[in-house]
A and B are shown apart, each in its own frame.
Chain A
Amino acid sequence: MLLQHSLPPQRRHACFSTSRQSVNARVSHVLRSTSSTVEAGPAEPKAEKPKKQKGEKQPQQKGGKPAQSASSPEEVRAVRLQKVEELRGQGQEPYAYRFDRTHFTTELQEQFSALENGAHDESGAVVSVAGRVVAKRVMGKLAFLSLRDDKGQIQLYIEKAGLEAQQPGGFDLVKGLVDVGDIVGCTGGLKRTDKGELSVMATGLQVLTKSLQPLPDKWHGLADVEKRYRQRYLDMIMAAEVRDTFRARSKIISCIRRQLEDRGFLEVETPVLESVAGGADARPFRTFHNTLRRDFTLRIATELHLKRLVVGGFERVFELGRIFRNEGVSSRHNPEFTSVEIYQAYADYSDMMALTEDLVRACALAVKGTTQINYQGVDIDFGKPFRRASMAELVKEAAPGLDFEALMAAGREAAAAGGPEAAAAVLTQAKQDAEAVLQAHENKDVRKFISKVRSAPSLGHLLNEMFEALAEGGLQQPTFVTEHPVEISPLAKPHRAKPGVTERFELFIYGREHANAFSELTDAVEQRVRFEEQVARHNRAFEERKQARAAAGEGGEAAEEAEEDYEVAVDYDFIAALEHGLPPTGGLGIGVDRLVMMLTDSPSIRDVIAFPLMK
């Protein structure tokens, strides 16, 4: 890979320094040596000719000075390895053991903010800073290094005389053996340059870690975006805002934790390795334990274990942790992600709405200092009470002809009067009406839902498909979508007043689901029925697809496996726990990664996961 040539002169200098400065075996100064000071003149660069790439023109610098060509990272590495040896030859360990830092760079910037341009600090303070060299300029008997640490950046101002008074040979070290990318420690007093740059006037400088690889020159516009995720450490070195994103992530998580602890919730840890994956509808990862000789699935939710703990008498619990789903990777999905699930005895879904608003608002304030944020160009207001609307209302809003509340009532009446066949007729008619709405829709992504509408097994499923097709994407401002049909909500309690729907909500922001909550189903008998129906329906559909695939396979082309192609099972152990009495309980799950995306204005989940899974 070629280093870039179109850099501002400063940076260019820094980059080229590695290729131009050769390792000079004659340089044998010993840092901090007391005896045998060898002449302190600049080491003669042993003009190691930079290799010219084939067909590559020597770029011309603006100043008319011929520019140096870049070396390949392999060549740079070889040169730097020699420097490692050279440092060792001088009795310098190029991988030091520790360093006593007195200040972070930002602390100095703050402490000496009153220092005027061109002024030296007269207090005589001697400070030590450490960090990575991100730029280097050498001008005769003067050298400048830009040093970056965890918090910020500062300039190291290195005068040959000043440094060598304390550290004979120090200037040659800086010139010849320190490269951009190295970790160094530096000690000295402070001054602000005429141009206003606060600087440490080096009286001591030590290579703490010699880097072997050159830092990339161009990062932001890098065509290979994947490289940013694969080599996150480079991404962090090169882009301060990447580090800020992960600081914000940590702040959000600790804000959630503090809010919950202040409300008396106990943080717990439940197993990742489970016998039955439950609490959600998703394909689990499987693994095998050698000595127990048994299969485990990785959890797809923490719900069922946490509810067992509420049965056990922990009335307020939460778990902040990793969830695993064996699904495709996208800008919104990573196979492992972080959720917080919260359970509160004697609360219901209305209480959970209030808690959700509180948590989201607190996180926004913690990270942004305001509840008015902007995500990907859209202003989002967390300050106002979030809108609440039922799923049926939202579909009706988008398609006035589709009144699911009326349809579901008609379905119940038909079932009561004419039995399952009459009810099926209502469903068939509703599907036709729904399909007509989709057919007429100008957006082809919406029309894609037609096949799902056709195969919807119930009015409840149909409502859900129509909600996803027509309403979900438009919910930009925070909206609690409530009253999900009972068929798609196997763990939620039936609504206390409205038949056919549950006491459930999902929070949508920017068209994405951020939270999911219900008044938990506490009726063990009904839970068993719902689980068994759900499992039967799922496995039946899976079987059908399998047979269809087998049939198609005989004809030659085998159909692709669908995302839902996995078997599910009922967690009877959980039902046994419910049979011992779960108090009325409100439960809430929040997707932490998506919340971090929202509050750091990150377009992809990969921007908020330090090491996303890559192909």
Chain B
Amino acid sequence: MTTTEVYKLPEQWSEDLKDENGEPMSKSEFKRRQKANRLAAEKAEKEAAKAAKAAAKPAKEADGPALEDDSTEITDPTAYFENRVKYINAKKAKGVNPYPHKFHVSMSLPDFVAKYGSLEAGQQLTDVTVSVAGRIYSKRSSGSKLVFYDLKGDGAKIQIMADARNSDLDAEGYAQVHNECKRGDIVGVEGFPGKSKKGELSIFPKKFQVLSPCLHMPPSAHFGLKDQETRYRQRYLDLIANGDVRSIFYTRAKIIQFVRRFLDNRGFLEVETPMMNMIPGGAAARPFITHHNDLNMQLYMRIAPELFLKQLVIGGLERVYEIGRQFRNEGIDLTHNPEFTTCEFYQAYADYKDLLDLTEQMISQMVYEIKGSYKITYHPDGPEKPAIEIDFSPPWRRISMVSGLEECLKVKLPADLETEEARLLLVKLCEQHNVNCPAPQTTARLLDKLVGEFLEEQCVNPTFICDHPQLMSPLAKWHRELPNMTERFELFINKREVCNAYTELNDPLKQRELFGDQAKAKSQGDDEAMFVDEVFCTALEYGLPPTGGWGLGVDRMTMLLTDTNNIKEVLLFPAMKPEEQAGAKKSEDA
């Protein structure tokens, strides 16, 4: 391949990326170059701006030197930091506290915008005094008497139009205060509201005070902060630089609030059950192990709250729920983080049919309330790739698992799936259809793979896959009509499991028997098979009423409603690999 073009770094790294010599490029090399490019571009931009400004401003400063602004910023991050530390140390030496204890804020920025946003251009309410605070995003000076700042706080932005004529300070004091303030600083401003001639909503300060200096050069307003690693590792920078990130976490809070309200209104009681247990029960997953020193006891982090919540139903709390963290010692990928948030609820005297309806109701109402429509746009492969529409309008499709699979594969599966013949048939089907099932090839795992390939793939709009075989569902109750099946469903949206629910198995003998099967699977090498919890079996013997149980993956639901395809986007501080030696020394991303 010959090319005469200058080598251009693509936006994203990929496995097959080649450099200008056609050699494969490593991810770290790609990142190094990406950063170098960015710094060079920023520097060039700044210098151009500086030159343009110098050209545009002939020496008209008869009354003093021009004030410093973003264009006079030091460009080397280390020198920038050292300069700022020097500045605060000098203040301290003079007995001035660079970190004031308190600044009274009379109005938040969103309130300011709401109250004064409708002023006319040029209008100033000089007899009103308000005090606001926030972070400086940019600073532009005009001569020695006027500085414009962009101030952001709580998701809102206004302009500070610092005119020396309005300041309580003399010319020297005014110049000092504004020369000391840098982009990134937290400031407090007291003054009157108004709009500039251009119609920009502004506060015109009488008093202006730096409340907390930013010692590092903040991410550039123009280039922002794109590097994913930095965004996740230093989420505060991400939140400062990328305004839309904060809205993800508001949506997340809204989802949790919605679920909580929905359940509270139906008489459910919110409870807390242990995150550290002697036995990690309620799901099939590899647990984290820790150790309690004083009791000299090994403990597992919980993988699900299920068994404890059912004990509370036995205790007479007939409707309980818990929203909380679960922990699974598993690999990290686009939909998995070692800790994640679920909601589980249990409702006595209800069954999975009740929960099918309840789920449809809850999730569709949630989507409607948060998004204003049952239909949402979603980018399953990231913002650059094509979008799809997901329609949450109820009712949703319901597929019975085994008959659905039989239909897709055009085969008849044996009624009894527990036999070796059945297992071999599934092995054969997997081979026929090129479905990879790593060892151990248990019937449950084989079925799971086939379902993943053929049924889950159909589930873009919300779809229930129902009636799982008993051998895949050791905590679910046997189906009242379909032999060997259970009364269970999973809700899939965009081909991913979002909910899992069943009529709870409450026959203690049957439960012991199914736990026994899990123990056998474990001994056969399936280390994700469930642990046997004898305490729970004993509790069941006291009588668990007929109960419907339900779980929701809060993170995945949040991904859908914030149009993100990586779980790290919806976690404030996702788990990351330890920083590489090389990465450890890297300067702040600026």
Binary B-proximity of A549-560 (CB < 8 A = 1, otherwise 0) = 000000000000
Residue A322 is within 8 A (CB to CB) of chain B in the complex: yes
Residue B50 is within 8 A (CB to CB) of chain A in the complex: no
B539 and A233 contact, CB distance less than 8 A: yes
The residue from A84, A95, A242 contacting B546, defined by CB atoms under 8 A apart: A95
B264 and A581 contact, CB distance less than 8 A: no
Do A291 and B331 form a contact, CB below 8 Å, given A308-B236, A346-B103, A523-B98? yes
Beta-carbon contacts under 8 Å, A465-508 to B: 493, 496, 503
Residue A182 is within 8 A (CB to CB) of chain B in the complex: yes
B154 and A236 contact, CB distance less than 8 A: no
Beta-carbon contacts under 8 Å, A327-373 to B: 327-329, 335-336, 338, 345-348
Chain B residues within an 8 Å CB radius of A94: 507
A584 and B103 contact, CB distance less than 8 A: yes
Residue A90 is within 8 A (CB to CB) of chain B in the complex: no
The residue from B105, B135, B297, B316 contacting A148, defined by CB atoms under 8 A apart: B316
* CB closest chain-B residue, reference A319: B572
Closest Cβ–Cβ distance, residue A573 to chain B (whole Å): 8
* CB closest chain-B residue, reference A101: B349
Do A322 and B214 form a contact, CB below 8 Å, given A250-B270, A493-B99? no
A305 and B573 contact, CB distance less than 8 A: yes
Residue B294 is within 8 A (CB to CB) of chain A in the complex: yes
B186 and A581 contact, CB distance less than 8 A: yes
A291 and B330 contact, CB distance less than 8 A: yes
Chain A residues within an 8 Å CB radius of B236: 308-309, 311-312, 577, 580
Cα separation A577 to B324 with both chains bound (whole Å): 27
Closest Cβ–Cβ distance, residue A159 to chain B (whole Å): 25
Residue B256 is within 8 A (CB to CB) of chain A in the complex: yes
Chain B residues within an 8 Å CB radius of A346: 102-105, 133, 188, 211
Closest Cβ–Cβ distance, residue A586 to chain B (whole Å): 9
Q: Which of A6-14, A113-121, A267-275, A453-461 is the contact stretch? A: A267-275
Closest Cβ–Cβ distance, residue A388 to chain B (whole Å): 17
Q: Which of A167-175, A282-290, A375-383 is the contact stretch? A: A282-290
Closest Cβ–Cβ distance, residue A304 to chain B (whole Å): 10
Residue A434 is within 8 A (CB to CB) of chain B in the complex: no
* CB closest chain-A residue, reference B351: A98
Residue A18 is within 8 A (CB to CB) of chain B in the complex: no
The residue from A264, A268, A309, A579 contacting B214, defined by CB atoms under 8 A apart: A579
Do A234 and B315 form a contact, CB below 8 Å, given A253-B270, A312-B239, A580-B215? yes
Chain A residues within an 8 Å CB radius of B144: none
Cα separation A290 to B545 with both chains bound (whole Å): 39
Closest Cβ–Cβ distance, residue A583 to chain B (whole Å): 4
Cα separation A273 to B491 with both chains bound (whole Å): 29
The residue from A93, A315, A611 contacting B154, defined by CB atoms under 8 A apart: A315
B286 and A290 contact, CB distance less than 8 A: yes
Do A581 and B315 form a contact, CB below 8 Å, given A99-B349, A611-B274? no
The residue from A211, A253, A286, A315 contacting B290, defined by CB atoms under 8 A apart: A286
Residue A538 is within 8 A (CB to CB) of chain B in the complex: no
Residue B567 is within 8 A (CB to CB) of chain A in the complex: no
Chain B residues within an 8 Å CB radius of A155: none
Binary A-proximity of B328-371 (CB < 8 A = 1, otherwise 0) = 01111000001101000000111101100000000000000000
The residue from B102, B211, B218, B292 contacting A613, defined by CB atoms under 8 A apart: B292
Cα separation A311 to B354 with both chains bound (whole Å): 45
Cα separation A345 to B102 with both chains bound (whole Å): 9
A233 and B214 contact, CB distance less than 8 A: no
* CB closest chain-A residue, reference B329: A290
Do A272 and B545 form a contact, CB below 8 Å, given A130-B349, A232-B315, A329-B294? no
A266 and B249 contact, CB distance less than 8 A: yes
The residue from A181, A275, A584 contacting B542, defined by CB atoms under 8 A apart: A181
Do A247 and B274 form a contact, CB below 8 Å, given A77-B541, A273-B338, A326-B292? no
The residue from B275, B297, B315, B546 contacting A236, defined by CB atoms under 8 A apart: B315
Binary B-proximity of A92-117 (CB < 8 A = 1, otherwise 0) = 01111111110000000000000000
* CB closest chain-A residue, reference B98: A523
A610 and B546 contact, CB distance less than 8 A: no
Do A98 and B350 form a contact, CB below 8 Å, given A313-B239, A584-B101? yes
Closest Cβ–Cβ distance, residue B507 to chain A (whole Å): 4
Cα separation A236 to B544 with both chains bound (whole Å): 13
Cα separation A211 to B506 with both chains bound (whole Å): 10
Closest Cβ–Cβ distance, residue B308 to chain A (whole Å): 6
The residue from B153, B188, B299, B316 contacting A313, defined by CB atoms under 8 A apart: B153
Q: Which of A150, A230, A271, A312 has the most CB of B within 10 A?
A: A312
B572 and A269 contact, CB distance less than 8 A: yes
Cα separation A148 to B317 with both chains bound (whole Å): 11
B339 and A231 contact, CB distance less than 8 A: no
* CB closest chain-B residue, reference A93: B480
Binary A-proximity of B534-578 (CB < 8 A = 1, otherwise 0) = 010011011111101000000000000000000000011101011
Cα separation A285 to B546 with both chains bound (whole Å): 38
Residue B44 is within 8 A (CB to CB) of chain A in the complex: no
Cα separation A261 to B253 with both chains bound (whole Å): 11
Residue A314 is within 8 A (CB to CB) of chain B in the complex: yes
The residue from A234, A253, A583 contacting B133, defined by CB atoms under 8 A apart: A583
User: Would you list the 7 A-B pairs with minimal beta carbon distance, nearest first?
Assistant: A236-B315, A312-B239, A211-B543, A312-B236, A233-B315, A150-B318, A581-B214
Sample of 26 A–B contacts (CB below 8 Å): A97-B546, A98-B353, A99-B545, A100-B349, A130-B349, A150-B318, A208-B546, A209-B545, A211-B542, A212-B541, A231-B538, A232-B311, A237-B316, A249-B271, A268-B572, A273-B327, A309-B235, A312-B236, A321-B325, A326-B293, A496-B102, A576-B234, A581-B212, A583-B186, A584-B99, A613-B274
Q: Given A286-B290, A315-B154, A348-B102, 10 other A-B contacts at CB below 8 A? A: A77-B541, A95-B477, A96-B546, A100-B349, A209-B506, A283-B293, A312-B239, A312-B240, A346-B103, A611-B311
